[in-house]
Amino acid sequence: MTNREPQIVVIGTGYVGLTTAACLAHLGHDVVGVDVDEAKVWALRRGEVPIVEAGLVGMVSRGLESGRLRFETSYEHAAGDVVLLCLPTPTTAAGDLDLSYIESAARQLRDVLEPGAIVVTKSTVPVGTHRDLLRWLDRPDLAVASNPEFLREGTAVHDFCHPDRVVIGAADVGVAERVAGLYRSLSAPILITDLASAELVKVAANTFLAAKLSFVNEMSRVCEATGGDIDEVIAGIASDHRIGTAFMRPGPGWGGSCFPKDTRGMAALGRQHGLELPMVTATIASNDAHMDHIDLSIRTSLGRPLADATVAVWGATFKAGTDDCRDSPALAIVRRLAAAGARIRLFDPVARPSVAGVEHCGDAYDACDNADLLVIATEWPEFGEADMNKVARLLAAPTVFDTRGILDPAAVAAAGLILHRPGHGASWAGVSNRDAVGTGSGGPR
């Protein structure tokens, strides 16, 4: 190898690939982003970013202007020294992960890579994928590595530039150190390990975070049943430094493209190896139970049959700061209410998912027009700043259900509205997990 700067190739320009490519160019590397979607590549060459991701437009345009970032559609341009695979691994109908994008990329890379190149998995892959990758590459002169990403949608650029750690797995420490060179200008600890451990870190981290949230949401249900206040309980336990304040917000249940997939992946891994993983399966079951509980609680707070009601819903994305609605708890709420016959007036600042029976509204206030209940399903900051007096004038009934706890209770009360929030006992009398979901549709009009 010469001492020249490595040519970096990123295969796939989704939120992980595009963020990685643009941020590596920002760190001073020469980066080629390869994607088979021609229309997307042409748009990216013009600096048009197809996803909502804070700071990404600026990163991409600065990369293009500096000449350090370019986009190509053909694998002819993928002959880099370090090739990062940022490809989707969707769940199949049978529940397995579909590795066909990775396989296809590996087979094409086999024909273009120079000896000594390293192929790195970056986006989430099942544990053990490195063995398949070596088989598909079928080139003993190439190396593989695992460098899992921990980027959160909506804050991916920030997370890339300020990581808690960089994890690199490889069979050979020299290979790992060459991958580590990509991140040398970041002030983050670099953990070098074996391939299987690196792949496991990613799924284990997401499973642990999901478990933390399932626990917090369970405690919010305990608060409702006992008259406690989840904010007080969290403040009390989070001040123990062993527990901490991060990832402690109760909500409508966790979702998105990662936690549901990774927790199911971890459960499947246990089954494949004949291992009992009761914490993992309970984490998933707890989230399902929580979503049932939220659904029942919304119906109870409405206090009338859903088939006879109009519900305003603020938010469709799985969290704020992204346009992603995959496995969105907000959309799960919308779908359940719509399936039970409610008319839904939905507003989300960036997403307009198509759901039968749902009317998309021009703004948050428009959604409230003559609705019997307002449900806040995603924590967009603008919802927390809404004029509650205006909301009160528009609603047909004075009830707000804030699944994310973003409203100021004093402002809501001052507007004459009744506020329901997960984890706040006083407003939840009569709602219990033992009640059947879907049968209680509230009292008569």
Q: Which residues are catalytic?
A: 258
CB 22 within 8 A of CB 60: yes
Interface region with ligand UGA, contact rule CB under 6 A, candidates 3-11, 247-255, 284-292, 435-443: 247-255
Q: Do you know the residue count of the chain?
A: 445
Note whether 122 binds ligand UGA by CB under 6 A.
Answer: no
Size of the site for ligand UGA (CB under 6 A): 21
* Side-by-side strand order, sheet with 82-85: 69-72, 30-34, 7-11, 82-85, 118-121, 143-146, 166-170, 190-193
Smallest gap from residue 329 Cβ to ligand UGA (A): 6
Smallest gap from residue 171 Cβ to ligand UGA (A): 24
Q: How far apart are CA 403 and CA 75, in angstroms?
A: 46
- Of 294 and 397, which has the nearer Cβ to ligand UGA? 294
Report the C-alpha dihedral over residues 197, 200, 202, 203, rounded to 10 degrees.
-170
- Of 167 and 342, which has the nearer Cβ to ligand UGA? 167
Interface region with ligand UGA, contact rule CB under 6 A, candidates 144-152, 162-170, 224-232, 406-414: 144-152
Smallest gap from residue 88 Cβ to ligand UGA (A): 11
- Of 73 and 91, which has the nearer Cβ to ligand UGA? 91
Q: Which of 247, 272, 275, 370 binds ligand UGA (CB under 6 A)?
A: 247
User: Closest by alpha carbon to 149, among 197, 90, 205, 105?
Assistant: 205
Q: How far apart are CA 105 and CA 7, in angstroms?
A: 18
- Of 214 and 300, which has the nearer Cβ to ligand UGA? 214
Note whether 321 binds ligand UGA by CB under 6 A.
Answer: no
Note whether 314 binds ligand UGA by CB under 6 A.
Answer: no
Q: How far apart are CA 176 and CA 241, in angstroms?
A: 33
Q: How far apart are CA 371 and CA 306, in angstroms?
A: 12
- Of 64 and 294, which has the nearer Cβ to ligand UGA? 294
Note whether 333 binds ligand UGA by CB under 6 A.
Answer: no
Q: Which of 101, 150, 215, 365 binds ligand UGA (CB under 6 A)?
A: 150
In sequence order, the 6+-apart residues with CB closer than 8 A to the CB of 151 are 15, 16, 19, 159, 160
Q: 347 pairs with which residues across the strands? A: 314
Burial 8-42 (b: 16+ CB within 10 A, else e): bbbbbbbbbbbbbbbbbbbbebbbbbbbbeeebbe
CA angle at 66 for the pair 63 and 69, rounded to the nearest 5° = 40
Q: Which of 9, 248, 313, 415 binds ligand UGA (CB under 6 A)?
A: 248
CB 110 within 8 A of CB 133: no
Q: Which of 63, 256, 353, 423 binds ligand UGA (CB under 6 A)?
A: 256
The site map against ligand UGA for 77-116 (x = CB under 6 A) is: ----------------------------------------
Q: Which of 136, 318, 347, 380 binds ligand UGA (CB under 6 A)?
A: 318
In sequence order, the 6+-apart residues with CB closer than 8 A to the CB of 190 are 165, 166, 168, 180, 183
Contact positions with ligand UGA (CB under 6 A) in 385-424: none
Smallest gap from residue 50 Cβ to ligand UGA (A): 17
Smallest gap from residue 294 Cβ to ligand UGA (A): 11
Q: Which of 120, 137, 211, 213 binds ligand UGA (CB under 6 A)?
A: 213
Contact positions with ligand UGA (CB under 6 A) in 258-297: 258-259
Q: Which of 7, 124, 263, 399 binds ligand UGA (CB under 6 A)?
A: 124
Q: Which of 30, 81, 149, 199 binds ligand UGA (CB under 6 A)?
A: 149
Smallest gap from residue 319 Cβ to ligand UGA (A): 4
Q: Which of 75, 254, 314, 347 binds ligand UGA (CB under 6 A)?
A: 254
CB 64 within 8 A of CB 25: no
- Of 150 and 215, which has the nearer Cβ to ligand UGA? 150
Helices (H), 2-67: 15-26, 38-45, 56-66
Determine the straight-line distance between the first and last CA of the chain, rounded to whole angstroms.
77
Note whether 319 binds ligand UGA by CB under 6 A.
Answer: yes
User: Closest by alpha carbon to 327, among 406, 402, 264, 421?
Assistant: 264
For the chain, what is the radius of gyration of the CA atoms? 24
Q: Which residues of the shown chain bind ligand UGA in the complex (CB under 6 A)?
A: 124, 149-153, 206, 209, 213, 247-249, 251, 254-256, 258-259, 318-319, 329
